[in-house]
Amino acid sequence: MTHRLALRADLLDFTADPGFEAVAEAAGVRFRPDHWLLVEGGRIVGAQPATASDDGPDASWRRIDHQGRLILPGFIDTHVHSPQLDVIASHGAALLDWLARYTFPAEQRYADPAVAAAGAARFVDALFAHGTTAAVVFPTVHKVSAETLFAAAQRRGMRLITGKVLMDTNAPEGLRDDVENAERDCTELIARWHGRDRLAYAVTVRFAGTSTREQLAMAGRLCASHPGVYMQTHVAENTDEVRWIAGLFPEARSYLDVYERHGLLHPRAVLAHGIWLDDRDRVLLHERGAQIAFCPSSNLFLGSGLFDWQATADAGVAVSMASDVGGGTSLSMSRTLADGYKVQSLRGLRLSAWKLLHAATRGAAQALGLAAEIGSLDAGCVADLTVWDWAVGPVAMHRDSLANSLHERVFAWMTLGDERNLVVTCVAGEPVYQRA
Ligand code: GUN
Ligand code: ZN
């Protein structure tokens, strides 16, 4: 008999994008207080109210009672760097200086297979310990860093999208590849990992500054010849960076246009930041079906700027949420959402908790083409889910007790909560993290 699991808690997920305005009666919000969530063979099969008169699911179900807690779909972090746990919280630099002073030296160590394997395991387990069950990840330029990350995710049954970083110029010794070897490595990695279990390959162009035109063209060829693969990169994060790229690629209309010219923009392209794009760039993103990963913690920490979510959404471009550790300072997506709220506040936009949570769950899944698998508590989805305390500590508990509406409660959870609220993380119905 297949393994049957029933989890009792308040269930919160989304059936559609709740949009920018609505707080009280937002469409697409699905809250099912005190329900049993039913999981069979690692997939969600349904839910039923846990009413007092009802004994709940029968004895064929293994029941775990989290009454009074919150169950959410596992978070999806659409842009994060596995080796940068080694440099998270490094002081005093904007992007280009930060890369040179902290990040590149740390990434050099990942040439060592033992460092890469230990780093991959540490990273994946840290995601789980923050409630993230799926991620789009940058390892390093070294083939072994992608291999070990795929292997670590595979062992844990995790949904992961990654690929060897491409960088063949403007990077220090030990962090540069070349077109021919990189193409061979990528081709081998795609053959070995793409579509295997829950893994997918992303052609990973670090950014326009660290790839030659020849390498960008090769990356475009890889996307064209392997239609299912993703592409991930950075774009228009920092004004000094934008000026530098304009000098490197004078033929391009804009930073984004560098990627367009090399065939890198398509519906599986995930571009981090996009702070300094213009309207024509946003139209182009929409035409190509490419998406933006909004990284508020990183944008604040590195002082990069305030992403224009409204203009991006108005152009019809999908926006998801991302930690961008180690530019970002936490793997916690609830902290990331709280930072997203603050960044948008500085632009005059007061986002609802619904909009933010949707962008870190179902919205991200939809943008990645994975909504049938992850991002919600729909029957049929893989049971990647998280169990949370509504409040931890005297301030949050006090605030929670005074909440007068569901949105008020969820917004306080998002703003005051973090990984200390996390009780259990499940991947395909199996616990991969449990609070001590
Ligand atoms: N641009 C190029 N590389 C990086 C990186 O590692 N982090 C961030 N935030 N931006 C980048
Ligand atoms: Zn990044």
Cβ(86) – ligand 1 distance below 6 Å = no
Which ligand has its closest atom nearest to the C-alpha of 165?
1
Element containing residue 225 per DSSP (H, E)? helix 213-225
Ligand nearest to the CA of 299: 1
**Per-residue pLDDT at 2:** 72
Between strands 62-73 and 385-388, the pairing is antiparallel
Which ligand does the CA of 208 lie closest to? 1
pLDDT value for 77: 99
Residue nearest to atom 1 of ligand 1 (CA): 234
Q: Is 207 touching ligand 1 by the criterion CB < 6 Å? A: yes
Q: What pLDDT does 52 receive?
A: 67
Residues 6+ apart with CB under 8 A from 112: none
234 in contact with ligand 1, CB cutoff 6 A: yes
Domains and CATH numbers, the chain: 4-73+376-434 (2.30.40.10), 75-331 (3.20.20.140)
Specify the pairing of strand 269-273 against strand 230-235: parallel
Best mutation site among 103, 244, 271 for ligand 1, i.e. most ligand atoms within 8 A of its Cβ?
103
Residues of the chain whose pLDDT is less than 50?
Answer: none
What DSSP line would sit under 240-284, residue for residue? HHHHHHHHH-TTSSSHHHHHHHTT--STTEEEEE-TT--HHHHHH
Q: Looking at residue 53, what is its pLDDT?
A: 65
Report the separation in Å between the CA atom of 235 and the middle of ligand 1, taken as the mean of its atom positions: 9
Query: With contact defined as beta carbons under 8 Å apart, do 14 and 358 qualify?
Result: yes
Q: Which residues have their alpha-adjacent CB atom under 5 A from ion ligand 2?
A: 272, 324
Residue with token string 């008020």:
408
- Assess whether the previous peptide bond of 326 is cis (omega < 30° from 0): yes
> Ligand 2 centre from 282 Cα, in Å?
20
pLDDT at 51: 84
| Cα of 206 from ligand 1 centre, angstroms | 7
Query: Which tokens sit at 129?
Result: 């310990």
CB 105 within 8 A of CB 337: no
Report which bound ligand comes closest to the CA of 293: 2
The burial class, CB within 10 Å (0-12 / 13-18 / 19+), for 278 is middle
CA of 203 to the centre of ligand 2 (A): 14
79 alpha carbon – ligand 2 mean position (Å)? 6
* Distance separating alpha carbons of residues 233 and 317, to the nearest angstrom: 16
What's residue 386's pLDDT? Answer: 98
The answer to whether residues 383 and 42 touch, using CB atoms and an 8 Å cutoff, is yes
Check pocket membership of 206 for ligand 1, CB cut-off 6 A.
yes
d(CA 49, CA 6): 12
Measured over all CA atoms, what is the biggest interatomic distance in the chain, rounded to whole angstroms? Answer: 71
417 alpha carbon, distance to own chain's centre: 18
Cα 234 to ligand 1 centroid, rounded to whole Å: 7
The DSSP line for 205-223 is E--GGGS-HHHHHHHHHHH
Residue having the nearest C-alpha atom to atom 7 of ligand 1 = 327
Distance 93 CA to ligand 2 centre (A): 15
- Using N-to-C axis directions, what is the helix angle for 143-155 and 179-193, rounded to 10°? 10
Does any ligand 1 atom lie closer than 6 A to the CB of residue 99? yes
pLDDT for residue 1: 54
Distance 324 CA to ligand 2 centre (A): 5
- Answer whether 171's CB lies under 8 Å from 108's CB: no
Q: Which atom of ligand 1 is nearest to the CA of 298?
A: 9
| Residue of the CA atom closest to atom 11 of ligand 1 | 234
What is the reported pLDDT for 55? 75
**pTM: predicted TM-score of the whole model, two decimal places:** 0.98
Rounded distance between C-alpha atoms, residue 33 and residue 10, angstroms = 4
